[in-house]
């Protein structure tokens, strides 16, 4: 039976779905280090992770029989995508499933910070009654600056407008503005006009240290800062300086440059003593609804890849959406994107008088992927001939 390993407390519906499709499933609550992961992957066909487990080149080299990785989250920067692809490992994620959960937390954080709820709560817990409107504001009429106008940023834009906020956004790519949102040509244009600045950029390496001292300095006096995107994007030391100076009135941080591997591990941050501060342990997408949705979505992608060879919505493979097998067997051939590979595949099959019932080819960058439904099961010699085609990365037969 095929083996699946699910780490980091992935929703149990994912394990149930995989078991229903014939997998033996092992689940673990925490993340694993590189060496621990290599050991745990012995005999494993499918791996499921969230954001804390890193799948490096060393892991991939040590476990070349791994077929697919499911990232049960939005980001995929914890996996070396290109290296996985060139070694025949398909990677899938859930780019939309927890969008609403993140957006709702952002809205809640904004309201709490503008009303200085963290500061009032701290005072109440320490026996101080401070019934005052000083520094407290409504969200209505405030300008929200969204940096990164993707799935989360654009949905946040809609909800913020419904609350009466003016929305501005900045994105490196051309994006359609929703509602009355206004696009800014430069980042500084957004920073200088926004009462609240929130980061929703992706995990590409070029975003490391993207928001630092210069960007904080351009923010308005008494503005609010939020980061629920990636921990390595914002300079938290610079944020603390601007909080301590009174330039920035409050902040919410959900992601950190270094985070504990599992629940219960100790955690420290210099931001803990700030007055109007919301600190959360990377829970932006952690609602029961989102985790259930992610569990269903990613497990289905893994099942479709294993059972059909479908790479639909893979983040590192050519995209082929496949229906049921129209022949007796299905041959999935992943190869380097070289000229003539499809012709060579068909030549090998033709030499053995094997009829092709259906065929699909996709290419993406350095990879090519051809899936062929054949009218009879190929013998061992035919399969070896297909594996011997120049550029072959991985070939498997799907019944």
- Residue positions annotated with a catalytic role: 230, 259, 282
Q: In what order do the strands lie in the sheet with 3-6?
A: 24-27, 3-6, 46-49, 68-71, 90-92
SS3 content of the chain, % helix, strand, coil (to 5): 35, 20, 45
Buried-exposed string 360-371: b where 16+ CB fall within 10 A, e elsewhere: beeebeebbbbb
Q: Which two tokens stand for residue 141?
A: 């009429």
Question: Pairing relation of β-strands 143-147 and 166-170?
Answer: parallel
Q: What phi and psi values does residue 252 have, to the nearest 5 degrees?
A: -130, 130
User: Which of 134, 102, 18 has the alpha carbon at shortest distance from 67?
Assistant: 18
Longest dimension (CA), the chain: 87
How far from chain centre, in Å, is Cα 296? 15
DSSP-derived secondary structure for 50-117: -SS--B-HHHHHH-TT--EEEESSS--TTB-HHHHHHTT-EEE--SSTTHHHHHHHHHHHHHHHHTTH
Gap between the Cα atoms of 149 and 187, Å rounded = 13
């Amino acid at each position: 039976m095929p083996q699946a390993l699910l780490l980091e407390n992935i929703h149990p519906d994912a394990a149930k779905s995989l078991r229903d499709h014939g997998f033996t499933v092992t689940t673990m609550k925490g993340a694993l280090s590189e060496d621990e992961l290599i050991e745990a992957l012995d005999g494993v066909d499918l791996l499921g992770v969230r954001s804390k487990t890193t799948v490096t080149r060393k892991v991939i080299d040590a476990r070349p029989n791994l077929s697919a990785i499911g990232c049960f989250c939005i980001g995929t920067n914890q996996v070396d995508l290109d290296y996985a692809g060139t070694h025949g490992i398909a990677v899938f994620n859930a780019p939309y499933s927890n969008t609403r959960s993140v957006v709702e937390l952002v809205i809640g954080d904004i309201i709490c910070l503008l009303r200085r709820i963290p500061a009032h709560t701290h005072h109440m817990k320490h026996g101080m009654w401070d019934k005052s409107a000083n520094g407290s504001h409504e969200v209505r009429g405030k300008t929200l600056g969204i940096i990164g106008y993707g799935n989360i940023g654009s949905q946040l834009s809609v909800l913020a407008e419904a609350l009466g906020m003016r929305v501005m956004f900045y994105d490196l790519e051309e994006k359609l503005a929703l509602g009355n949102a206004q696009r800014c040509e430069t980042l500084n244009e957004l920073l200088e006009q926004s009462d609240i600045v929130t980061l929703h950029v992706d995990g590409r390496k070029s975003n490391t240290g993207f928001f630092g001292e210069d960007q904080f300095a351009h923010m308005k006096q008494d503005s609010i800062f939020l980061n629920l995107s990636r921990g390595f994007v914002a300079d938290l030391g610079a944020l603390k300086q601007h909080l301590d100076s009174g330039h920035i009135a409050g902040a919410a941080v959900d992601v950190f440059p270094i985070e504990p591997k599992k629940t219960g591990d100790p955690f420290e941050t210099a931001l803990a003593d700030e007055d109007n501060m919301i600190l959360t342990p990377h829970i932006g997408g952690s609602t029961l609804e989102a985790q259930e949705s992610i569990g269903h979505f990613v497990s289905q992608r893994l099942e479709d890849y294993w059972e059909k060879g479908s790479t639909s919505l893979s983040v590192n493979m050519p995209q082929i959406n496949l229906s049921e097998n129209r022949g007796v067997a299905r041959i999935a051939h992943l190869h380097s994107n070289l000229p003539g590979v499809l012709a060579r595949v068909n030549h090998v099959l033709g030499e053995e008088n094997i009829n092709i019932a259906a065929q699909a080819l996709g290419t993406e960058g350095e990879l090519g992927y051809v899936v062929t439904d054949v009218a009879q099961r190929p013998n061992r010699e035919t399969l070896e001939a297909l594996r011997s085609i120049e550029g072959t990365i991985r070939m498997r037969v799907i019944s």
